């Protein structure tokens, strides 16, 4: 009797606690909020460079380094933070990226000197790169990746106008701080990612156990830095890039599972995806900077009409790219690549030959459609070419190629159109 009673009263203490309900994947809108504000922050200085230069006591040409520093830090930070994601996991990336974005924003808000402001912009970009890598690693499908990529296109398109409006209403420093909005999504993404995962839901890969390849990371950083500087100092940058590329190739042969996995470099699927994204990105950014001048020179449009028309075209192309991402699973890889390459080529040819405003805007819409569609769909192709443990690395190197297109495009525009 006593034994029965004791067993009855103690059984609740020994019964297992109810399991936490499994959650589905992180909602795509949270991932978009985590990743896309950096696009608006990147383009915010475009129309306010003279104001920034005057406030910092520098010339306009010197102030353009605020754009170059941001592009460099995004390009370098993407594979580095993706490597951290692979080795330390999602929480470490979210924590470090948040510190970089917040610290960089505080520097930009308070710095009275251009060099310190450059450091702040670079920190913002590196932190944003980490948030992008985290969001893309959690997307899990082309449809969800399409939401992120379309958001990139839309906020990137609105960035110059948003930056100008904020600068006029408050301060140019506020214009350069819009990427801090991404931190609102960090707690929600962290909660979803740490909760038990429902069957079939995308989750961050477990941290890798192998030793971090610091030499490979350093050589890749040197190569990317040289490539980003290529438009500014061609001879020195080209020589530096060649040396860094040779050293990196030798290192990859010695350590094939290192920071740049040899298997990815030998994967036709990864190489085709990354190189096509690089070409489409470079074409898009070339047109982004060229079309306003072409609208004025060939069609006689004034600055206001050109800016409004280009914004409408960019928003339209970015929205349409999400439809391609949503339909990509039914189309197949070959068909998707054919559509992206065909539309991107047609956009470039149209922009080169057209002398009517609507055709130039159609070329802009086609270019942003191809570039953002490539970022959404081809990134999933690139990730699928790698084992789960190397998926963050594959995404980081893919996004690096896309970012390099963003660095090359303005230089091509300056050489072909803006300098004419």
Residue 170 reports pLDDT greater than 50: yes
Residue 120 reports pLDDT greater than 50: yes
Cα→Cα distances 406→61, 97, 227, 277, 316, Å: 19, 21, 12, 11, 20
- H helices, E strands: number in the chain: 19, 0
Residue 280 reports pLDDT greater than 90: yes
pLDDT of residue 24: 63
Q: Which residues contact 376 (CB under 8 A, 6 or more apart)?
A: 142, 145, 146, 148, 149, 150, 321, 322, 324, 325, 328
What six digits make up the tokens of 24? 């589905």
pLDDT of residue 205: 56
Of the candidates 208, 293, 267, the residue with the CA atom closest to the CA atom of residue 385: 267
Question: Mean pLDDT across the stretch 199-216?
Answer: 65
Question: Mean pLDDT across the stretch 386-405?
Answer: 83
pLDDT of residue 199: 46
Indicate the helix (H) or strand (E) that contains 107: helix 90-110
What six digits make up the tokens of 67? 């754009």
Tell me the backbone φ, ψ of residue 114, rounded to 5 degrees.
Answer: -60, -45
Residue 145 reports pLDDT greater than 90: no
3-state secondary structure of 230: coil
Question: Mean pLDDT across the stretch 290-313?
Answer: 84
pLDDT of residue 394: 87
Q: What is the pLDDT of residues 306-320, one digit of tens each?
A: 878 888 898 899 888
Residue 418 reports pLDDT greater than 70: no
Cα→Cα distances 151→183, 222, 266, 327, 368, Å: 16, 30, 32, 17, 12
Q: What is the mean pLDDT of the chain?
A: 83
Q: Which residues contact 320 (CB under 8 A, 6 or more apart)?
A: 365, 369
Q: What is the pLDDT of residues 324-356, one digit of tens each?
A: 888 887 888 899 999 999 999 999 999 999 889
The pTM for the full model equals 0.79
Of the candidates 40, 276, 20, the residue with the CA atom closest to the CA atom of residue 175: 40
pLDDT of residue 393: 84
Q: What is the pLDDT of residues 55-98, one digit of tens each?
A: 888 876 777 778 778 888 988 888 888 888 877 888 889 999 99
Residue 419 reports pLDDT greater than 80: no
Question: Mean pLDDT across the stretch 260-274?
Answer: 90
pLDDT of residue 338: 94
Residue 256 reports pLDDT greater than 50: yes
Question: Mean pLDDT across the stretch 171-200?
Answer: 81
- Centre a 10 Å sphere on the Cβ of residue 387 and count the other Cβ atoms it contains: 11
Residues 401, 96: Cα–Cα separation, whole Å:
23
């Amino acid at each position: 009797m006593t034994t029965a009673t004791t067993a009855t009263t103690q059984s609740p203490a020994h019964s297992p606690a109810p399991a936490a309900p499994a959650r589905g994947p992180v909602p795509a809108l949270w991932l978009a909020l985590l990743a896309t504000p950096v696009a608006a922050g990147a383009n915010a200085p475009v129309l306010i460079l003279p104001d920034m230069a005057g406030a910092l006591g520098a010339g306009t040409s010197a102030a353009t380094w605020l754009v170059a520093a941001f592009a460099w830090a995004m390009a370098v930070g993407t594979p580095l933070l993706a490597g951290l994601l692979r080795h330390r996991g999602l929480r470490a990336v979210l924590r470090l990226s948040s510190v970089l974005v917040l610290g960089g924003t505080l520097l930009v808000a308070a710095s009275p000197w251009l060099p310190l402001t450059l450091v702040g912009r670079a920190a913002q970009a590196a932190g944003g790169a980490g948030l992008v890598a985290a969001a893309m690693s959690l997307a899990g499908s082309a449809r969800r990746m399409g939401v992120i990529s379309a958001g990139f296109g839309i906020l990137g398109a609105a960035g110059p106008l948003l930056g100008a409006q904020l600068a006029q209403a408050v301060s140019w420093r506020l214009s350069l701080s819009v990427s801090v909005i991404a931190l609102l999504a960090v707690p929600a993404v962290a909660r979803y990612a740490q909760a038990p995962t429902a069957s079939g839901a995308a989750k961050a890969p477990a941290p890798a156990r192998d030793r971090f390849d610091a030499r490979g990371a350093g050589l890749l950083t040197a190569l990317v830095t040289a490539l980003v500087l290529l438009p500014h100092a061609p001879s020195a940058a080209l020589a530096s890039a060649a040396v860094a590329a040779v050293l990196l190739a030798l290192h990859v042969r010695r350590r094939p599972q290192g920071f740049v996995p040899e298997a990815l470099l030998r994967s036709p699927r990864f190489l085709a995806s990354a190189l096509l994204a690089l070409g489409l990105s470079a074409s898009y950014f070339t047109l982004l900077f060229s079309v306003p001048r072409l609208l004025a020179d060939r069609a006689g449009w004034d600055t206001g009409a050109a800016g409004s028309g280009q914004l409408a075209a960019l928003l339209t192309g970015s929205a349409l790219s999400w439809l391609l991402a949503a339909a990509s699973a039914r189309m197949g890889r070959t068909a998707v690549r054919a559509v992206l390459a065909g539309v991107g080529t047609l956009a470039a040819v149209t922009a080169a030959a057209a002398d009517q405003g609507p055709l130039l805007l159609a070329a802009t819409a086609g270019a942003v459609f191809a570039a953002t569609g490539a970022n959404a769909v081809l990134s999933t192709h690139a990730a699928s070419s790698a084992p789960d443990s190397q998926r963050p690395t594959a995404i980081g190197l893919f996004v690096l190629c896309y970012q390099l297109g963003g660095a090359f495009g303005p230089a091509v525009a300056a050489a072909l159109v803006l300098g004419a």
